[in-house]
Chain A
Amino acid sequence: SQQGEEDPQALSIQEGENATMNCSYKTSINNLQWYRQNSGRGLVHLILIRSNEREKHSGRLRVTLDTSKKSSSLLITASRAADTASYFCATGDQTGANNLFFGTGTRLTVIP
């Protein structure tokens, strides 16, 4: 399967702490994206990192990519209760496939 895999499956932290989620994938990729999902409904795009990039920032989000290890991490700094959601990584591979391949997600709970 080309699907990514997030680690941990669930994470619970106190408000103000940093949250780190990891994603591993299997194939060569063109880009890797992180999405957020609230309450099991629609996903919201957070950030994209291309295969020739190693790190990217957006507000309180920091994403790293290590193509040699086929892994990525998402760091949320100074977490807030509103960050409570499921986070998914998704990969666009180099085979020309038109869809994104989503991981199984990390359920983040930020305790106020």
Chain B
Amino acid sequence: GAGVSQSPSNKVTEKGKDVELRCDPISGHTALYWYRQSLGQGLEFLIYFQGNSAPDKSGLPSDRFSAERTGGSVSTLTIQRTQQEDSAVYLCASSLAPVGGSLYNEQFFGPGTRLTVL
């Protein structure tokens, strides 16, 4: 089966524009995560979806960031009025079930979208 896919692979935009990043998780995976990785840094958690539950948005850095997950599958991360500090690689991951607490499953990562804000 296919792994996690993300599109576009690269996105260059001008400051102030809105961008949409897409993630297709592995079929059957109920949990979906978005992370951000700035150059040479670790991963910063952004948002988490699990089934039909309300998403965990605790990692979103500002109200310019939002995400949706339609039909429990594809997810879109939207950044409004982009700023230069938004430039990073945005990584999506999915897992069969949540990784927290007593239930564990590894996360499968997509190749990422490299966003450059000029």
| Given contacts A31-B104, A101-B45, A42 and B99 within 8 Å (CB-CB) | no
Kindly identify which residue among B31, B43, B106, B110 contacts A98, using a CB–CB cutoff of 8 Å: B31
**How many angstroms between the C-alpha atoms of A102 and B99 in the bound complex?**
13
Sample 6 A-B pairs with CB under 8 A, ordered by A number. Answer: A43-B109, A94-B101, A99-B45, A100-B99, A101-B45, A103-B42
| Given contacts A3-B42, A42-B111, A98-B31, A48 and B102 within 8 Å (CB-CB) | no
Which residues in chain B, 63-108, are within 8 Å of chain A measured between CB atoms? 89, 91, 93, 98-102, 104, 106-108
Q: Does A64 contact B (CB under 8 A)?
A: no
Which residues in chain A, 95-110, are within 8 Å of chain B measured between CB atoms? 95-105
The answer to whether B100 touches A92 (Cβ under 8 A) is yes
| Given contacts A99-B48, A102-B42, A45 and B101 within 8 Å (CB-CB) | no
B37 contacts across to A, CB distance below 8 A: 40
| Given contacts A33-B106, A104-B42, A96 and B101 within 8 Å (CB-CB) | yes
**How many angstroms between the C-alpha atoms of A3 and B43 in the bound complex?**
9
Kindly identify which residue among A33, A44, A98, A102 contacts B50, using a CB–CB cutoff of 8 Å: A98
The answer to whether B48 touches A98 (Cβ under 8 A) is yes
Which residues in chain A, 1-43, are within 8 Å of chain B measured between CB atoms? 3, 30-31, 33, 35, 40-43
Q: Does B25 contact A (CB under 8 A)?
A: no
The answer to whether B99 touches A99 (Cβ under 8 A) is yes
The answer to whether B109 touches A30 (Cβ under 8 A) is no
The answer to whether A40 touches B42 (Cβ under 8 A) is no
Kindly identify which residue among A41, A44, A88 contacts B42, using a CB–CB cutoff of 8 Å: A88
B104 contacts across to A, CB distance below 8 A: 30-31, 48, 50, 92
B99 contacts across to A, CB distance below 8 A: 31, 92, 98-100
The answer to whether B106 touches A41 (Cβ under 8 A) is no
The answer to whether B41 touches A104 (Cβ under 8 A) is yes
